[in-house]
A and B are shown apart, each in its own frame.
Chain A
Amino acid sequence: MTNTSLSTREKVEKSMVRRRAAEKRFRAYGMASVLFGLLCLVGLFGDIINKGASAFTQTVIRTEILIDADYLGINKKAEDQEIRNADFEGLIKQHFKNIVQPEGRTERRLLYSMISAGAAWQLQEAVLLNPALLGQKVTVNLIADDDVDQWFKHDRGTDSHNNRMNETQVKWLEQWIEQDMLQTQFNTLFFVNGDSREPELAGIRGAITGTFLTLLVTFLLSFPIGVAAAIYLEEFAPRNKITEFVEININNLAAVPSITFGLLGLAIFINIFGVARSTPLVGGLVLTLMTLPTIIISGRAAIKAVPPSIREAAYGLGASKMQVVFHHVLPLALPGMLTGTIIGMAQALGETAPLLMIGMVAFVVDVPGFVNDPSTVLPVQIFLWSDSPERAFMERTSGAIMVLLGFLVTMNTAAVMLRRRLERRW
């Protein structure tokens, strides 16, 4: 008896080394998995920031230029229209030709390609704003072309071969750097311009406005409908087959791929009802259908969390069912519902696929003014830019992603804060 028990004990003790090692290994796998997830997160953010941080600065050429009224053929009393038609581009070309003294047509073309098409606009805007500048020498920061921008920010001093500057251009650039003409400044254009084919002029204002309008439509529709549906299902719905069917539907819709909502928007909203495509209105309608399940599910959870004692007290004082719900349950559940709505909105903010189906991929230069103007949204803008071959667009894509992530972090933090602040323990 003692013998066998001892031998069992020995067996167990012998096996303990192996079992402890297995235990340690298992634990290490777990820790490695969590670390892997966190590492991916850090890697993703690091990569985006690494690529995109430079999108917030823009290379400019600081130069003193004579706004030659004779060359432009306008005087100080010129109408705005005349100023708009004046050849500022030629003026700038003339100016740089005098500075650099290029030889031959090829060199001239190389030189002109280093200045952005937006530089002429800059001068024009300045003159429009203050016609007194005509005939004077002014110091301006003219926007450089995206290739110059990339070279100055990334490739200078390295023997990188992926820039598109040739030796002559690099020689001029080095001269300009010695004369302190090349500088970087905060990239305001990135935030105030719409989309453009020229990377140095492309901005996200159009996309941000489009996103805002789309989310506005989504919120105005999905919040009231979602709250109403949650109230009905939680407080009024009879327990029968119909209610069960509705519930199954909502749970399934929450997990249906988002692209199918785009198919619905295309076939029903656009083709049958004739809603204009590419607009925040149709985008908002599609995103409403997509976010509704999230809002309804979180809304129901919030209503469920209100203790029955509140309802019973209200009934005891003679309130009707409707009064109990709208005067007592709803105000108490509202913070939870708002949290769910913000999370739903954050989902809608990052959504791209269904919007591709309903034409929000159009190249839209103008900033949309209202919900029925053609527009695009931030995620779709990211998708569009990421397809562009220019290196400068890759930088801008990462910059736009940083802005998008910034919005998302703000919204999610707001949701968490709201929950912390308004959370009640019953």
Chain B
Amino acid sequence: MSYTNGPMTEAMFYVLLALANPNHGYQLMNAISQVSNGRIQMGPGTLYGVLARLQKDGLITIVEDDGRRKIYEMNDVGRAALREEYHRLLSMVQDGSSLRGEMDNENVK
């Protein structure tokens, strides 16, 4: 089984990235902030929406559920999807690199 639902949203990409190690909802918020160098401050609604979708698409697995807290982890399908998305984003950046000088002159970050 592989992920075929098209490009990922930014939120989905970062939640998956933060789930490289097993994590639960609360810790995930901090992990996402860390992995994005503080750029992403994700709302809890978005986080749980992404978790529900990743679960439905079979990209993550619940490794522990004590009834109060669930610990999630990215599985092999999720890892493959993340790798594919990473390469897609990399290609986009490379394709846009021809504009690099122009962008720098306009101070576009």
Query: Bound pair: A and B?
Result: no
